[in-house]
């Protein structure tokens, strides 16, 4: 148990803050790679998911594909890309994009599909174009589920971004790996606690966002 105390003291130690390897720098790196990965994956996956949800086409193929992608061990993708692209932030970023993709896609199409068919039908009946049906009815109605997908993806990515440090000098995972190498358990545990805290914080934030976007808040033009 006093290992926890040591870890907390390690975090509190002023010499571990500031500078290129400081805790603050690492947190910023960790968040940056997380948001970049989720952002890139979102730009790719959400329009595709919305399209699938709206048209109902290609659903089975995409679902199966997304399922298979989930089965890929991220560490494998990471190391393969590391060897292919070289050591740097690009390889982990790409691997994390692949990790985020299925959750975002699933959230998007499930959100659109969850939109009340009656409301969608009514929107068409009052003369909305397909584009308007998507943007004014389906997306607002499915927003909560869609954001749930973003939440799941963010959680996975912020957790897995720890692995990025295995092939590049980035993020909070660095403390875990360098502590592991030098048998510095306090540093290792400190890194673990920081990542866990960051993940928890982000998840609580996303949960609040998801609640705020619940369709019962009602943004549907009638």
DSSP per-residue string spanning 188-216: HHHHHHHHHHHHHHHHHHHHHHHHHT-GG
- 167 half-sphere exposure, CB direction, 13 A CA radius: 27
Contact positions vs other proteins (CB under 8 A):
1, 3-4, 60-61, 64-65, 67-77, 79-80, 82-84, 155, 158-160, 162-163, 166-167, 173, 176-177, 180, 185, 188-189, 191-193, 195-196, 199-200, 203
Q: For the chain, what's the residue count? A: 222
Rounded to the nearest 5 degrees, what angle is found at the Cα of 196, between the Cα atoms of 90 and 83?
Answer: 25
Is the CB of 72 or the CB of 128 nearer to other proteins? 72
Is the CB of 132 or the CB of 178 nearer to other proteins? 178
For 214, residues 6+ apart whose C-beta sits below 8 A from its C-beta are 144
CB of 163 to other proteins, least distance (A): 7
Is the CB of 3 or the CB of 208 nearer to other proteins? 3
Is the CB of 33 or the CB of 189 nearer to other proteins? 189
137 DSSP assignment: I
CB of 200 to other proteins, least distance (A): 5
């Amino acid at each position: 148990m006093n290992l926890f105390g040591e870890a907390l003291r390690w975090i509190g130690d002023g010499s571990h803050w500031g500078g290129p390897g400081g805790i603050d720098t690492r947190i910023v790196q960790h968040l940056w790679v997380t948001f970049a990965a989720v952002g890139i994956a979102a730009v790719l996956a959400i329009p595709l998911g919305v399209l699938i949800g709206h048209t109902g086409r290609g659903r089975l193929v995409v679902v199966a594909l997304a399922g298979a992608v989930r089965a890929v061990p991220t560490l494998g993708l990471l190391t393969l890309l590391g060897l292919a692209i070289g050591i740097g932030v690009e390889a982990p970023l790409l691997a994390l994009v692949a990790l985020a993709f299925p959750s975002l896609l699933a959230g998007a199409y499930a959100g659109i599909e969850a939109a009340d068919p009656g409301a969608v039908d009514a929107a068409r009946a009052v003369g909305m174009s397909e584009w308007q049906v998507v943007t004014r009815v389906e997306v607002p109605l499915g927003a909560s589920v869609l954001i749930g997908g973003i939440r799941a993806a963010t959680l996975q990515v912020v957790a897995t971004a720890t692995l990025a440090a295995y092939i590049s000098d980035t993020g909070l995972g660095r403390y875990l790996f360098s502590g592991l190498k030098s048998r510095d358990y306090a540093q290792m545990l400190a890194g673990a606690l920081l990542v866990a805290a960051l993940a928890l914080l982000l998840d609580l934030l996303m949960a609040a966002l998801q609640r705020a976007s619940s369709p019962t808040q009602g943004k549907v033009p009638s």
